[in-house]
Chains A and B, each alone.
Chain A
Amino acid sequence: MTPEPLLQVQDLVTSFPTRAGEVRAVDHVSLELRRGETLGLVGESGSGKSMTAMSILRLVQPPGVTRGGPVAFNGRRDLLELSEQEMRKIRGAEIALIFQEPMTALNPVFTIGDQIAEGILVHHQASRTAARDRAVELLEAVKIPNAMARAHDYPHQLSGGMRQRVLIAMALACQPLMLIADEPTTALDVTIQAEILDLLREMKEKFDLALLLITHDLGVVAGHVDRLAVMYAGRIVEEGPVRRIFSEPAHPYTRGLLASIPGRTPGKRLASIEGAVPNLAALPPGCAFEPRCPLRFDKCPTAPPPPFEVDPGRSARCYLFDPAIVDRPSIVDRSGSIGDRPASSGRPS
């Protein structure tokens, strides 16, 4: 039996008022995460993946508004209904966040030991010495060599990879249940990137964490997540077990993303997705991916598709999987590249 999800998000919406009307950066996002599980949240810049994390933590700044829900977490019915004071006890202590840019997320004028200890002092009744000792322990846990001495270092004395380890140590300081890592490796070199991802996995296993890994690089997450949610224009367009998605991507956007990863056919043209990410203030009336989709058909521009079940445990917001539509273009090419729509279907595009 699968355990109860630690986090269960239902129809979360975060919107911003603009001159062009309401813009939904997060548009009816639903997701679940269990302890010991890693969910990859993948999308291009502006797709709403970071904003989803900020919305869960209720860190969206006005005029942005988060509504919808509930966001059930660890026995609480809805985080969106908690007071700011109650929410503060959750941030850092129960859900910790690791940012992308390890230099700007650290305070340059305090030693890393002090910065880790600060989180412990804020959330727990601990003496200053106990907090310091714990900080050194944490630095050891994230494999910073010579942790005792390094605790006295300032952020600028560390390399990018080491800083990211410090941020992970800070995130773990209050023994959270869930960790949100927002592009934790984007600013790092490829060898360091792999080390940090390995470290995150190890920490997840050691502390039985629920890990939400946000990234724009599908290739990076393949070996590090259990489930995958692909975002496009504020919506989760495909969600399911990572193996199923990589072997048979369902949504045409996911297929395009997978096909455009270089290295499969050296020297040949890369498969690319034509066009550009749409402006959130001027989304097409139907599926947001419809104007770029090589498989579009007459149903697509009518209304945004709801999630349809592709196979057990996997859904896609795409009318190709709408069981009510009988006469739809068949999906010929399941290899990951987008095949041309079969000419025989005879539908206007």
Chain B
Amino acid sequence: MALVEVRHLVKQFTRKDGMLSRPSIVRAVNDVSFAVDEGETFGLVGESGSGKTTTGRCMLRLIEPTSGEVLFRGKNVLSFSREELRLARRDMQIVFQDPYSSLNPRMTVRQIVEEPLVIHRMGTRSERADRVVELIRLVGLNPGQLDRHPHEFSGGQRQRIGVARALALNPSFIIADEPVSALDVSIQAQVVNLLMDLQDKLKLAYLFIAHDLRLVEHICRRTAVMYLGRIVEMGETAELFSNPQHAYTKALLSAIPIPDPDNQPVRIPLNPKDINFDAPLREIAPGHWAST
């Protein structure tokens, strides 16, 4: 059964280009529907501006969507009261892209990781202290470093701190928004491995938002491709990568750099004329949806 289900999600922004022009409406997220199962990694890919980050943030109500439903264990998060939402957030957490700006530089690692526990009034002081040590070990850091500040850590270590904070309340669903794209290549693999290990250990479900398709192919069981605010194709990752149907997916996949000088991809350029923007998503093979 689906752990999180997004139904017809819409987020509109009003945009004003100049003093005299009339405001126009931009649909950053336009009728997006998908479901993430318990314990699975679901990839959300697309170019910048395609609406993937906005979708993720709407799901946690970090920004309020315009319409639609986000069902978490069958309950609509969008109709929750403040208190219900506070409780729900224990179960749904986020890891941000930039480990430099997403950790408060004035707080120690201990305070950063403990903060969610304090806000949610979990445990006594000593229980919380034990939990912080447990979490920091879980993400592969040394508890001896707990009283240091974020600037004393490398990018990869900071991202581990961000993961520890997200895990503090023992969630079952984590939105990982480009969690490794700010990291060096040799460090990316470490953090990706950590996320995969934690998933095995804690039965986490991830919504993995990324633009690096190689990474998505590596870790996501299913993937949805977003283009201009819509999901244009969705399916099992292996099927989607080997048998893309939508013109945008084809162009996107053909642009993935191949680390082999003798086996370079033939790029398929994107021609907007090939895209039928009104085509609904339809199931072209079991579990494989495309708007063609």
Does B261 belong to the interface (CB within 8 Å)? yes
Cβ B192 vs Cβ A262 within 8 A = yes
| Chain B residues bordering chain A, tally (CB within 8 A) | 39
**A276 contacts chain B at the CB level, 8 A cutoff:** yes
| Closest Cβ–Cβ distance, residue B47 to chain A (whole Å) | 4
| Residues on the B chain within 8 Å of A220, using CB | 257
Interface residues in A35-57 (C-beta closer than 8 Å to B): 44-45
**Cα-based distance from A263 to B257 in the complex (angstroms):** 11
Chain A residues, Cβ within 8 Å of B193: 269-270, 272
Given the interface contacts A191-B251, A222-B264, does A270 sit within 8 Å of B218 by beta carbon?
A: yes
A216 and B184 contact, CB distance less than 8 A: yes
Chain A 217-242 interface 0/1 with B at a Cβ cutoff of 8 Å (1 = within):
11110110000000000000000001
Roughly how many angstroms separate A271 CA and B190 CA in the complex, as a whole number?
8
Cα–Cα distance between A243 and B262 once the two chains are bound (Å):
8
Of A191, A242, A267, A271, the contact of B219 (CB 8 Å cutoff): A267
How many angstroms from the CA of A216 to the CA of B218 in the assembled complex?
A: 20
B226 to chain A, nearest CB (A): 12
List A contacts of B186 (CB < 8 A).
Answer: 44, 256-257, 260, 272-273, 277
Verify if B276 is at the interface (C-beta below 8 Å from A): no
> What's the minimum C-beta distance from B12 to chain A, rounded to whole angstroms?
22
Q: In the complex, which residues of chain A have a beta carbon less than 8 angstroms from the beta carbon of B215?
A: 262-263
User: Given B156, B197, B255, B261, which contacts A242 in the complex, CB threshold below 8 Å?
Assistant: B261
A216, A217, A222, A262: the one contacting B260 at CB < 8 Å is A222
Contact A191 B270 (CB under 8 A): yes
Given known A189-B48, A258-B259, contact A266–B237 (CB-CB < 8 A)? yes
What residue in chain A is nearest B48 (Cβ atoms)?
A: A189
- How extensive is the interface on chain A, given as a class? 35 or more
A122 contacts the other chain (CB 8 A): no
| B259 adjacent to A261 (CB under 8 Å) | yes
Interface string of B170-185 (1 = CB under 8 A from A): 0000000000000011
User: Complex: how many Å from CA A273 to CA B192?
Assistant: 12
Within 8 A of B (CB), among A168-197: 189-194
Please name the residue on chain A nearest to B252 by beta carbon.
A191
Residues 187-224 of chain B, each 1 if its beta carbon lies under 8 Å from chain A, else 0 = 11110110011000000000000011111011100000
Q: Which of B213, B214, B262 contacts A261 (CB 8 A)?
A: B214
Q: Which residue in A190, A258, A276 is a CB contact (below 8 Å) of B213?
A: A190
**Is B87 in the interface zone, CB < 8 Å from A?**
no
**Closest chain A CB from B242 CB (angstroms):** 11
In the complex, A246 has a CB within 8 A of chain B: yes
Per the bound structure, the CA–CA distance linking A246 and B256 in Å amounts to 17
CB contacts under 8 Å to B, within A322-348, are none
Q: CB within 8 A of B261: which of A243, A262, A263, A269? A: A243
New contact pairs (10) apart from A194-B255, A218-B259, A260-B189, CB-CB < 8 Å: A45-B184, A190-B47, A190-B213, A190-B257, A191-B252, A222-B264, A261-B185, A265-B218, A270-B192, A270-B218
Q: Can you offer 6 A-B residue contacts whose CB atoms are under 8 A?
A: A191-B270, A194-B267, A216-B184, A216-B185, A261-B259, A273-B189
Q: For the complex of A and B, list the 9 residue pairs with the smallest distance between their C-beta atoms, beginning with the closest.
A: A272-B189, A263-B214, A189-B47, A262-B218, A223-B264, A270-B189, A44-B184, A260-B189, A273-B186
